[in-house]
Structure 1
Amino acid sequence: MTRRLILFGCAILALGGAGFVRAAAPPVPALLPLPAQLHVDAGRFTVDARTPIVLADDAASTRRTGAWLAGLLAHTRGLPLPLQRGAATTARAIVLQRDPAAPVADREGYALDITPQGIRVSARDDAGLFYGAVTLWQLLTPDAQQGAVELPALSIRDQPRFAWRGLMLDSVRHFQSVAEIERLLEQMAQHKLNTFHWHLTDDQGWRIQIKRYPELTRIGAWRTSPDAGHDGQPSRYGGYYTQAQIRRIVAYAAARHITVVPEIDMPGHAQAAVAAYPRFGVTGARPPVSVDWGINPYLYNVDDATFTFIENVLDEVMALFPSTYIHVGGDEAIKDQWQAAPAVQAKMRALGIASEDALQGWFIGRIGQYLDKHGRKLVGWDEILDGDNLPADATVMSWRGTDGAIKAAMMGHDVVLSPAPQLYFDHVQGDLADEYAGRLGVESLQSVYAFPTVPAVLGAAQAKHVLGVQANVWTEHMPAFAHVEHAVFPRLDALSEVAWSPATALNWPGFLARLPVQLGRYRAQHVNVADSAFAVEIVTERNVALATGRATVALANQAGFGVIRYTLDGSAPTADSPRYDAPLVLQLPVTVRAASFAADGSALAAPRERVLDRAGLLGLPGGLLANCPGSDFRLRLQPMPDAPSTQPVYAVNVFDGCQLFPATRMDEVAAIRVDAVRLPRNFALAHEAKLVVSRPRATPFGELVVHADSCAGVVLASMPLPDPARGARRFTLQAELPAQQGERALCLIYTAPTDGPLYAIDRVALEP
């Protein structure tokens, strides 16, 4: 009798050394996202170059799915399979078939059966058949080998948990090529995500060609970079997508069963549009296209001419994008211009509207009515709930936490969960010194996997309004596509499983056990994946080591997964290097290099290094210095906003130029050296500008002041800053320190004018 085992993705796990989770060979194939049901049977089937892919129905979508599967398998496995139409000429085949009687859900579900005689994938709709092919491709790439694959006999019955499984890409702050967007769409498809939210207009650029209004791209698509022409900074930054390019992207996505939802921001985030056509702004003046990240003040006007402009734009947008949903933004519209405009105030009185927030509600409501007349639905950020005119079928995307989703669902609106910070992929994935640029704090791989997709306060009827989840890739700090990929992967794997798999199947150790195989698939496709979850942190107690000349070193990674191996001779760790199982006691000086490895010996992360000697223990990178008390806001910034390089990166608090050097043994320390850097202050803080801390200065351009113990402590040194109009961006500040004993902390404060550049710390070194 054949024995069948129903599995829900919980791999058999054993606890490894140092408390890490080490995966034994998982009984579940390395599938991401995990299927709803998977049954393993006795027997095997081998797929080799003679195994045909049989297209058992005449649908064009079936032909596309078969060609996609064959092409991807040839690329990633080096296994070209012939395509055959009609009935299979051999029993040993892969059969793809649209079948109205397939034993699955009508929408996006599929059945996949592997027997010793062959493979069959069936579904009731085109999307389901494609997702079955995605799962089969993953089964056929179980390792980094090439050629034939032996598969276990099994059956899968699968369908998604949520209808909206989304990723938002901001192409305004930084621009991606068509090929790069297609590369991202391909990875979305491989993860069964089905909604690509494309952010196309904002203060910093207008990226979509509108033929009726050519100035939108002639003027609005380009901005003058801060310090243009210096240090290789381009004089202009920008670009836009022609309507032909947009049609290509929409078609590419549709072939992978991804709907492209365009976002055209209103009534705020409109500066690029107003720069192109000032008459549709409030003041009538022409601003520049903004170079500042944050919240800019420019709003659309509320007169009939402006609505005619917006409706004409939407006509061309709807002609390009067949999506049911059109995203209209609606977020972060500060109302200063409306409050100051007599014509707007007169309009409010005529309409009987008592507040500017209610006026925004009227504005969004009017746009929603226009979209309804054209058979489309409005979706916007949760600020669209302000006011009383929101169309009943409008969908709310909750970004300010989950409160907006809860409110909207209770009002009967459909919602998409997309909250900051959990699903904002502009937040960094780790906090090691070599992490890429982005917003702090850390939103780790595990935090994405743990995201609760349905707020617990919603009842069953209200929970049905939750369409799904979406992560957002805001690109202020992602000038190059390498940054985008680093921010997205591997968190996209966690997102896909949260969006697709049954809630009861979610299991963090099981997910980790399946992830190394997925990392191999990324390598085969040359995807730039962040290794933050597995990067080894090398930790020691600095002051003990300074006092004794011996360091007790602990090694760990964020995910607590894999085997850590290390070297002490400066060589790169390999799968054969010594295994870390307990803290190391080492004599100084020594160089520790360490890396994490999966059970199969593949590297999970690049090696990290720490030099442990007196100089190394007395110095720290600026990115590892804490903020001073009072503000936890923190960014990791590149030298210039549009720099395509991934390093160097500097930690900055745009509200307060103050950082803390931790308590350090100061015996024999006689001086301080700070490698400093000057950065553009391109941040629009709107009403939060009042939170920027300004401090008195004693010299024309300010100083870096060093206080003992705390920011109110005695001044140990004051180092004048150079003229920002002259000299290099990077410079060194040095000062003698008075003799001190024992452990003392240092507070380092920049007193530079707050209307000038930002200053950051690259590295601090205490010197004998």
Structure 2
Amino acid sequence: MSYRLDLTVIEQQENLSRFALTLHNLADQPLENWSLHFVIGRWINQDSLSNGRLHQIGSYCTLTPTTSEPLVSNGHFYTEFTAHTKPFTLFDDGIPEAFIHSTAHNPSGDDIATKMQTLIHPQPVEVTTINLASPSQERFTTPLPAAKSINLIPAPHALKVLGGSFSLHRHSAISAEHEAAQGSSHWLQATLTGYLHDELPLQPNGNIIYQYNPKLPEGAYKLLVEWDHIWLQAGSEAGFCHATASLIQLLPNASSHSAHAACLLPMVEIEDAPHYGYRGMMLDCARHFHPVPRLKFLIDQLARYKFNTFHWHLTDDEGWRLEIDAYPALTDMGAWRGPNETLAPQFTTISQRYGGYYTKDQVRELITYAADRGITIIPEIDMPGHCRAAIRALPELLVDRNDHSQYRSIQGYPDNILTPALPGTYAFIQTVLAEVCELFPAPYVHIGGDEVPHGVWTDSPGCRALMVEHGYRDPKELQGHLLRYAEECLAAHGKRMMGWEEATHGDKISTNTVIFSWQNEEAGEQAAKAGFDVIMQPAQYTYLDLAQGFSADEPGVDWAGKLPLDKVYQYHPLANLPASDPAQQRILGIQCGLWCELVNSQSRLEYMLFPRLLAIAELGWTSPDQRSWPDFKARLNGQLAYLDKAGINYRRCE
């Protein structure tokens, strides 16, 4: 490697840190007309640089020297800068990637050479681990007691071990005559076929029997495993899926199980029902693209642990991931980023073209796959903030040339908010949401609604005129104006709007919108008391991109603190309110989320999710009075054999 980049913390205060950045030229030639390109997850004070000039958009920084002197062979460039940030505690806080771009002088003015100069030609840079002021070496551990004989997660309402076993083999068969059991029976058939390496038939006289019981409420089920039959009873599609999930968890995970051999399932009797009707997980596919096979694998795990909702974050500043027929530029341009793309590089893979999107056929395939497993897919199309990918792809529709408002979003963008002053904004919202509603059968569409920064819409003649027209006094009311329009568009298609807690800003949407509380627990309580139905997703307990321990080498972020397994499990939504409080009746359920600024692979995704995903599963399903941390740890120990067999890269507890 010809170049090396070092970053060192040289001073830190509560909310201000100073850093030293050193670029080493290890090549045998001087480096001329160069610029350093790197990413970092903090906003750098550009005026604080002791040497050089910096331009930053989002996490992407371009540093150029202030002089034209070449960087000599075996020499180095040094600068210092400050950032308004709490002290760094994780190696992931540093610079993950960088490259060098250099240009040659073109005295001839040749057109081709000039054009080539405008393109960025990345040269690799070795980035060393950030030198933290006081890195912690303490690794957080969770010693696990011995596994139990039956290790279902989440814990069922009632479980009785009968003694004896059912022999599952290639001559077994599945009987599922009721329509409500069709999807779950296909899921079970696919699972058992993969397990036994033989396809179990679906036939009327099978010994694994889905039995319709209209007396069981939505989501509830009974599972009876006898020596000669397995009975799965439910009165709903969801109930049959939950029964199937429990049966799948009873399958042995011993690595010694051979193909075509019979396996023994313990004889049990289970009666069970969910505590919350909504049990979700959100995955951010905008910051990094996750291919369909990865999503299917994730949906299998969600179904196994009785989640019923996959919240699919499809659009953001850094990428638009959903095919929209009316606006092909959204994916032609907005789905890709790189040094020479419309969207600048961000986060990782910055030296090349990176991205991807989901076709409508892929979406339909995934919806069907998830439905068989009892999972509803809810799309999220962010607005009016987090829209940079769309705005850059469709400037003729979404850019107001007369708007001179100055703002910077929390992620560092000065140009990522839709404007309510343009007719194109409303055409965009209406058209996109119409295609989304046609594609997704879920009764909900999530529109984001979060993190609209201060200063937006304040220097726009069109926005001022709109405020006068409607009698608005605060530009923030324009956020409510746009979201009310989105809510009306969705309602016209029979859909109910969902949004993050800031969707209530501007006081324009109706209480028909479902609010997701993410910044803290109190926001959910306030929304519930204001009459909104609420999904609890406070970052401090449910954001699985947070680091799982306290050592500096722990992957993740810590803006909302560290999130070890025990902290996840202890969460009890609105525990301060009595069960009789009307606000409690507004809590529809709980959700965890994985934001993916730093999650760009299957291995990393699995590490951040497991085993904390299992704790979230129990929070959503099992009533608080039946939850037990020691008991959960024992059952978790019993689940590790499955995680190993499935090849899941989970964080080890010890």
Q: How does 1:11-90 map to 2 (within 5 A)?
A: 23-24=145-146, 26=148, 29-41=150-162, 43-49=163-169, 52-59=172-179, 62-76=181-195, 78=196, 80=198, 82-88=200-206
Contact 1:110–1:121 (8 Å) recurs in 2: yes
Tell me, in whole angstroms, the C-alpha distance in 2 between the residues paired with 1:217 and 1:196: 22
Shift of 1:155: 1.3
Question: Are positions 1:127 and 2:247 aligned together?
Answer: no
Corresponding residue for residue 374 of structure 1: 493
| AA aligned opposite 2:187 | W
Corresponding residue for residue 282 of structure 2: 168
Of 403, 419, 436 in structure 2, the residue corresponding to residue 301 of structure 1 is: 419
Contact 2:166–2:225 (8 Å) recurs in 1: no
CA-based RMSD of the aligned residues comes to 2.7
Q: Which has the higher contact order (CA 8 A, sep 6+)?
A: 2
Corresponding residue for residue 513 of structure 1: 634
Tell me, in whole angstroms, the C-alpha distance in 1 between the residues paired with 2:337 and 2:402: 17
Shift of 1:63: 4.3
Question: Are positions 1:184 and 2:298 aligned together?
Answer: yes
Contact 1:282–1:337 (8 Å) recurs in 2: no
Q: How does 1:216-255 map to 2 (within 5 A)?
A: 216-225=330-339, 233-255=350-372
When Rg is computed on C-alpha atoms for both structures, the one with the higher figure is 1
Contact 1:422–1:448 (8 Å) recurs in 2: yes
Q: How does 1:711-726 map to 2 (within 5 A)?
A: none
Aligned length: 500
Corresponding residue for residue 450 of structure 1: 570
Contact 1:166–1:470 (8 Å) recurs in 2: yes
Corresponding residue for residue 351 of structure 1: 470
TM-score scaled by length of structure 2 = 0.72
Task: Look up the SS of the partner of 2:539 in the other structure.
Answer: coil
Tell me, in whole angstroms, the C-alpha distance in 1 between the residues paired with 2:398 and 2:651: 41
Of 513, 528, 533 in structure 1, the residue corresponding to residue 649 of structure 2 is: 528
Tell me, in whole angstroms, the C-alpha distance in 2 between the residues paired with 1:366 and 1:131: 37
Q: How does 1:413-428 map to 2 (within 5 A)?
A: 413-428=532-547
Corresponding residue for residue 127 of structure 2: none
Shift of 1:286: 12
Contact 1:330–1:381 (8 Å) recurs in 2: yes
Of 368, 373, 395 in structure 2, the residue corresponding to residue 278 of structure 1 is: 395
What are the Cα deviations for residues 720-740 of structure 1, in whole angstroms up to 9, with x where unaligned? xxxxxxxxxxxxxxxxxxxxx
| AA aligned opposite 2:391 | V
| AA aligned opposite 2:338 | T
| AA aligned opposite 1:512 | K
Of 385, 406, 409 in structure 2, the residue corresponding to residue 268 of structure 1 is: 385
Distance 1:20 1:160, change over 3 A: closer
Tell me, in whole angstroms, the C-alpha distance in 2 between the residues paired with 1:160 and 1:394: 23
Of 183, 208, 211 in structure 1, the residue corresponding to residue 322 of structure 2 is: 208
Distance 1:116 1:479, change over 3 A: closer
Distance 1:528 1:356, change over 3 A: same
Q: Which deviates more from structure 2 when the two are superposed, residues 444-453 or residues 430-439?
A: 430-439
Distance 1:179 1:346, change over 3 A: same
Question: Are positions 1:194 and 2:313 aligned together?
Answer: no
Tell me, in whole angstroms, the C-alpha distance in 1 between the residues paired with 2:144 and 2:378: 41
* Structure 1 unmatched runs, 5+: 1-18, 535-768
| AA aligned opposite 1:267 | P
Contact 1:54–1:85 (8 Å) recurs in 2: yes
Task: Look up the SS of the partner of 1:526 in the other structure.
Answer: coil
Corresponding residue for residue 438 of structure 1: 557
Task: Look up the SS of the partner of 2:541 in the other structure.
Answer: coil
* Structure 2 unmatched runs, 5+: 1-140
Task: Look up the SS of the partner of 1:454 in the other structure.
Answer: coil
Tell me, in whole angstroms, the C-alpha distance in 2 between the residues paired with 1:477 and 1:174: 8
What are the Cα deviations for residues 367-420 of structure 1, in whole angstroms up to 9, with x where unaligned? 112211221111000001212221221100000101221111111110000111
Question: Are positions 1:482 and 2:482 aligned together?
Answer: no
Shift of 1:449: 1.0
Tell me, in whole angstroms, the C-alpha distance in 1 between the residues paired with 2:403 and 2:376: 35
Corresponding residue for residue 594 of structure 2: 473
Task: Look up the SS of the partner of 2:458 in the other structure.
Answer: helix
Corresponding residue for residue 224 of structure 2: 113
Contact 2:183–2:371 (8 Å) recurs in 1: no
TM-score scaled by length of structure 1 = 0.61
Contact 1:51–1:94 (8 Å) recurs in 2: no
| AA aligned opposite 2:309 | T
Distance 1:75 1:285, change over 3 A: farther
Corresponding residue for residue 531 of structure 2: 412
Tell me, in whole angstroms, the C-alpha distance in 1 between the residues paired with 2:384 and 2:368: 29
Tell me, in whole angstroms, the C-alpha distance in 2 between the residues paired with 1:374 and 1:160: 30
